[in-house]
Amino acid sequence: MSANTPKFCFVVHPLSLDDVARYEPGAKGKGAPIVRKIMEWMPPWNAVHVTGVRTPDGRETEGWFVSAPLLPEQMMEFPREEVYARILRAIEIGVEMGAEIAGLGAFTAVVGDGGVTIAERSPIPVTTGNSLTIAAGVQSFFRGADEMGIDPAASTAVVVGATGSIGAACVRLIAPRVGHVILVARNATRLAKFHEQIAPELPCESSFTTDISAAVRRAQLILTATSSTQDVIEPEDLQTGSVVCELSLPHDVSRRVATERPDVLVTEGGNMVVPGAPYFERVREPGSEFDLNLPPRTALACMSETMVLALENRLEPFTLGRGIDVRKVMEIDDMAKRCGFTLAGMRSFDTAVTAERIAQIREAADARRRVLAS
């Protein structure tokens, strides 16, 4: 790789106590209180070296995943300046390795003002990756509808987390293709104000509520984009044969759905197949591959946005803050396609959703409809 090839770094962190062991195998078997305490003082560290990312026309990039080791609840509870300091130190480690653009993963993109303050203080441009997450998520959302035989134009869709940076853009992109869209968020005042602002420009009927359960019960298509650390979608609320597309990490959908509702399709919306032969190598254990908990050659869309910007030599703060321009979503989607990134296969609760599995879900939905009808 030439010295002029743009490089990237991406700030990561564990999403749960079980997830900690993926980053630091030495944590396996230790009790939760000890792990939490260790993470309070553990400094950021270079976790993964990414190589082999190569476009069809021969452009390459390499980068590093740098850990800012706090759990989601710690990110939200700790003093904001302390969290900012950890994220910025992680970016500085990336810069020391040669990174020229940084991406913010999971809650590092949520805490505070959606990356704006981090970008102002960072030595290199910063992106949250939310634009490509939205593009991939909306494609996954409608792919799920197609697989389940749902006509979006005759359906009600729900966007949970509608006032967030990802959710608000998803509302705009979903509305032209559905019959009715219900906006859901926790803050009633902000939600009402957002709906008042956006309703005149939506080409379908729209409504809003803070009652997630009530909204989900009315919908055939559900998209979640929250920053919750708790389950927000429960099995008893879902319609027969409905589709839930998750853009959130940690997951928004209760694990009970997997066992109690075999008639419902749940899909993770923000995964991309990376072009070339990407290799994610543990920095501390050379020759050992880091487990992204994804299929081979697959990365989160937010990670992929950072790679795309490096490959395109667009070293700029592409996606920041709470308001995301839909035109930027279209632009990064075009750039990703040009670089050879494609939408990954469907996954649900960390396992692949095969054609056979979809057939089983549809059969279970038909059987449940017959029971309900009788």
Q: Is residue 176 part of a domain?
A: yes
Same domain for 227 and 112, yes or no, is no
pTM, rounded to two decimals: 0.91
Which of these, 317, 302, 313, lies nearest to 135 by C-alpha position?
Answer: 302
Sign of CA dihedral 26, 28, 34, 35: positive
Same domain for 153 and 261, yes or no, is yes
Same domain for 136 and 117, yes or no, is no
Q: Is residue 208 part of a domain?
A: yes
Q: Is residue 92 part of a domain?
A: yes
How many angstroms separate the CA atoms of 272 and 317, rounded? 21
Same domain for 147 and 247, yes or no, is yes
Which of these, 134, 132, 135, 149, lies nearest to 265 by C-alpha position?
Answer: 149
Residue 92: phi and psi, rounded to 5, are -60, -40
Same domain for 136 and 210, yes or no, is yes
Residue 211: phi and psi, rounded to 5, are -90, 95
Contact 265, 311 (CB under 8 A): no
Look up residue 66 and give its two tokens.
């740098």
pLDDT at 2: 46
Same domain for 305 and 288, yes or no, is yes
Q: Based on the structure, what is the number of domains in the chain?
A: 2
Q: Is residue 202 part of a domain?
A: yes
Same domain for 216 and 355, yes or no, is yes
How far CA 73 is from CA of 76, 78, 225, 270, in Å, comes to: 5, 8, 17, 22
How many angstroms separate the CA atoms of 245 and 159, rounded? 10
Q: Is residue 214 part of a domain?
A: yes
Q: Is residue 1 part of a domain?
A: no
Strand-pair partners of 214: none
Q: Is residue 252 part of a domain?
A: yes
How many angstroms separate the CA atoms of 305 and 79, rounded? 29
Q: What is the pLDDT along the chain (374 residues), one digit of tens a residue?
A: 445 779 999 999 988 877 777 777 776 767 778 878 888 888 999 999 999 999 999 999 999 999 998 888 888 889 999 999 999 999 999 999 999 999 999 888 888 888 999 999 999 999 999 999 999 999 999 999 999 999 999 999 999 999 988 999 999 999 999 999 999 999 999 999 999 999 999 999 999 999 999 999 999 999 999 877 677 899 999 999 999 999 876 678 888 998 999 999 999 887 999 999 999 999 999 999 998 888 999 999 999 999 999 999 999 999 998 889 999 999 999 999 999 999 999 998 888 899 999 999 999 999 999 998 88
Q: Sheet of 271-273: strands edge to edge?
A: 298-300, 271-273, 342-343
Same domain for 358 and 228, yes or no, is yes
Sign of CA dihedral 231, 236, 239, 241: positive
Q: Is residue 352 part of a domain?
A: yes
Same domain for 245 and 295, yes or no, is no
CATH number, domain of 170, equals 3.40.50.720
Expressed as residue numbers, the domain containing 19 is: 7-130+272-343
Same domain for 163 and 264, yes or no, is yes
How far CA 308 is from CA of 63, 131, 199, in Å, comes to: 12, 12, 33
Same domain for 264 and 167, yes or no, is yes
Same domain for 265 and 360, yes or no, is yes
